[in-house]
Structure 1
Amino acid sequence: MTNQTFDEGTVWVTAVQVATVWTTKESARGIDEPGLTNPTDIDRWVTKLTQEQKTALCNENRVQSQLLYGEVVQVTEIEGDWAHVVIPAQPSKKDPSGYPGWVPLAQLQEVEKDYWNRPKSAAIITKKAWLEKDKGEKVVKLSYMTCLPIVNQHPKRIEVATPNGTMFLPNEAVHIYGTQQGMEKKNGDEIVKIGEQFLDLDYFWGGMSSFGYDCSGFSYATHKACGYQIPRDASDQAEAGAPVDVENLLPGDLLFFAYEEGKGKLHHVGIYYGNGNMIHSRTNGKSVEIIELKGTIYEKELCATRRYWVE
């Protein structure tokens, strides 16, 4: 492998609606082709896979995480058609610079920093939104919490910088925020409220988009929307944040679960919903749901509670 260094005046960004981050260059299978191309067809990919094929993404350690359109990465190596990246916005103990993994090189684009760095950004706050060309032609359907730099604000649409030139998002689909300041911080009730809109969305291992979240991707996205950058993985999420006594839990707090009645390996995270309930992206073959903890395996497996939000 060859170490790559690039012009300090440029930055690498994700150039497809959702780019999956693979464990190795060999991790992707032929059946994963709709998620490997540019453009991708995430809807087709996640619906085409059988439950067994989806489970293999986890059990065979194939997928690490995902990137949203326009998300910045650091390219550390290029080998053939693949790039090894770290993701600064997804903290991880796996790499101090950000979450590591492999992405098809065709799904990344190098852009000028002067083009990409803008005072304001637009975050998609609907479950999905279409990116449009100047005359309204639909280009690609983007995920919730896709964030793009703002070039200009028009009466009905926001003009944004993209890896493929300036395009447009509808005003009603986005929230505008100061790029340096980040999204405004909200409380735990808002974290829960955001999670509710994804009820019945199918679980997807490694999922970081509204095409399918895994358990920690779901907690990451809901916190991101409320102005909090938390670690990517459940194990890392459980080590940061402020500890909370069970009797003092409030909506928006994170609940962590481990095998062997809480004494073994941590395997799941959910969001406390209030009144003894939890909202979570459960597991492969299931979907985002609200459940009562009492009398479930989760009640026995609870091993940690953390709070990231502030009043």
Structure 2
Amino acid sequence: MEQKYAICRVAVAPLRAAASDKAEITTQLLFGDHVEVLERAEPWYRIRTGFDDYEGWMDFKQLAVLTEQQYHHYDTCDELVPLGVDNTAIASDGSKYYLAPSSSLPEYANGYCTIGEEKFKLSFEPHLASAASPTDDVVTFALFFLNAPYLWGGRTLFGIDCSGFSQAVLKLAGIVIKRDAAQQAEQGTLVNFLQQVQPGDLAFFDNAEGRIIHVGIMLNAHEIIHASGRVRIDRIDDQGIYNAELGRYSHRLRIIKRFI
């Protein structure tokens, strides 16, 4: 029977804009991300992610088969890889996978998770995502990524983009948002004034054409943490983000949204 559902079986895998190793990486799949297979052109599958409905092409060898029942069951996976750089999953052959924080841990029970038909022993206690996370926790999640290098399409400590950063932090808080900044800007509740922000609010920034091109996480009414060159903390005011290293405003503020 043709494979219709699958799950990422490696720690991190590129999702590309076209069926080629030379194609742009638009995002990454993390360990435990479940997907629907839309098209096959081996060795490439065009897939749609179950978490945020993002589409792209990836090598089918980085996926394990899921049943339809498993696919829908994984929509409610609350056990995640916690903050840390040495969280490992040990496969049945004894080999190790070093997992990125916010990765999903399907069918977690008694120290094990399951990817397809294979069980993995975990070296850590999972983080339980909760939509009731206090704003202090959201700030802690965000600060973990401080100084992570910017990488277009990235979702890990070793390379992350602005919307991948906001998505990972809110996922740890139990909040599901879309992948790209422009998509995220359409979600949440409007915050009318900068002085009304709470830690964890998302600020969005546009270009000269009015298109949303950047997002960051508010730490308070005067500071923002965002991925720009690296994950960094900068000043923000009604005009936008002021980069002290450049001596100028780097991003123009468009809108602020609340998700917590």
Q: TM-score range by the shorter chain?
A: 0.7 to 0.9
Q: How many residues are paired up?
A: 248
1:204 aligns with 2:151: yes
1:280 is aligned to: 226
Q: Secondary structure at the match of 1:224?
A: helix
Check 1:253–1:115 CA distance in 2 against 1; reply closer, same or farther (3 A cut). closer
Q: Is residue 204–residue 254 contact of structure 2 (8 Å, CA) maintained in 1?
A: yes
Deviation, structure 1 residue 74: 0.3
1:187 aligns with 2:139: no
CA offset digits 1:17-69 (Å, max 9, x no partner): 1111100013x23xxxxxxxxxxxxxxxxxxxxxxxxxxxxxxx712111111
Q: Secondary structure at the match of 2:147?
A: coil
Give the Cα separation in 1 of the matches to 2:250 and 2:154: 25
Deviation, structure 1 residue 306: 0.5
Check 1:243–1:164 CA distance in 2 against 1; reply closer, same or farther (3 A cut). same
Select 1:144's aligned residue among 68, 78, 101. Answer: 101
Q: Is residue 185–residue 228 contact of structure 1 (8 Å, CA) maintained in 2?
A: no
Mapping of residues 1-311 of structure 1, within 5 Å: 6=3, 11-26=5-20, 28-29=21-22, 62-90=24-52, 98-112=53-67, 117=73, 122-128=79-85, 129-133=87-91, 137-150=94-107, 152-153=109-110, 158-163=111-116, 165-172=118-125, 174-175=126-127, 177=128, 183-245=130-192, 246-260=194-208, 264-282=210-228, 286-294=229-237, 296=242, 298=249, 301-309=252-260
Which residue identity does 1:127 align to in structure 2? G
Give the Cα separation in 2 of the matches to 1:151 and 1:270: 31
Give the Cα separation in 2 of the matches to 1:279 and 1:259: 19
Computed over aligned residues only, the root mean square deviation of the Cα atoms, in angstroms, reads 2.6
Which residue identity does 1:101 align to in structure 2? G
Q: Secondary structure at the match of 2:185?
A: helix
Q: Is residue 164–residue 180 contact of structure 2 (8 Å, CA) maintained in 1?
A: yes
Give the Cα separation in 2 of the matches to 1:302 and 1:73: 34
Which residue identity does 1:108 align to in structure 2? L
Give the Cα separation in 2 of the matches to 1:85 and 1:71: 11
Give the Cα separation in 1 of the matches to 2:116 and 2:84: 22
Deviation, structure 1 residue 298: 4.8
Which of 74-83 and 182-191 deviates more? Answer: 182-191
Which residue identity does 2:173 align to in structure 1? C
Deviation, structure 1 residue 134: 6.4
Give the Cα separation in 2 of the matches to 1:151 and 1:272: 32
Check 1:164–1:202 CA distance in 2 against 1; reply closer, same or farther (3 A cut). farther
Give the Cα separation in 1 of the matches to 2:146 and 2:251: 24
Check 1:170–1:250 CA distance in 2 against 1; reply closer, same or farther (3 A cut). same
Q: Secondary structure at the match of 1:77?
A: strand
1:47 is aligned to: none
CA offset digits 1:166-196 (Å, max 9, x no partner): 1211234x22x4xxxx644313332222110
Stretches of structure 1 that go unaligned for 5 or more consecutive residues are 30-60, 91-97
Deviation, structure 1 residue 133: 4.3
Which residue identity does 1:293 align to in structure 2? I
Check 1:149–1:208 CA distance in 2 against 1; reply closer, same or farther (3 A cut). same
2:245 is aligned to: none
Check 1:257–1:210 CA distance in 2 against 1; reply closer, same or farther (3 A cut). same
In terms of fraction of residues, the more helix-rich structure is: 1
Give the Cα separation in 2 of the matches to 1:6 and 1:133: 23
Q: Secondary structure at the match of 1:73?
A: strand
Which residue identity does 1:278 align to in structure 2? I
TM-score (norm 1): 0.72
Give the Cα separation in 2 of the matches to 1:271 and 1:18: 24
Give the Cα separation in 2 of the matches to 1:75 and 1:112: 12
Give the Cα separation in 1 of the matches to 2:181 and 2:25: 15
Give the Cα separation in 2 of the matches to 1:250 and 1:120: 27
Deviation, structure 1 residue 126: 2.3
Identity, in percent, stands at: 27
Q: Secondary structure at the match of 1:21?
A: strand
Deviation, structure 1 residue 5: 5.5
Stretches of structure 2 that go unaligned for 5 or more consecutive residues are 243-247
Give the Cα separation in 1 of the matches to 2:173 and 2:167: 10
Deviation, structure 1 residue 300: 6.5
Q: Is residue 64–residue 115 contact of structure 2 (8 Å, CA) maintained in 1?
A: no
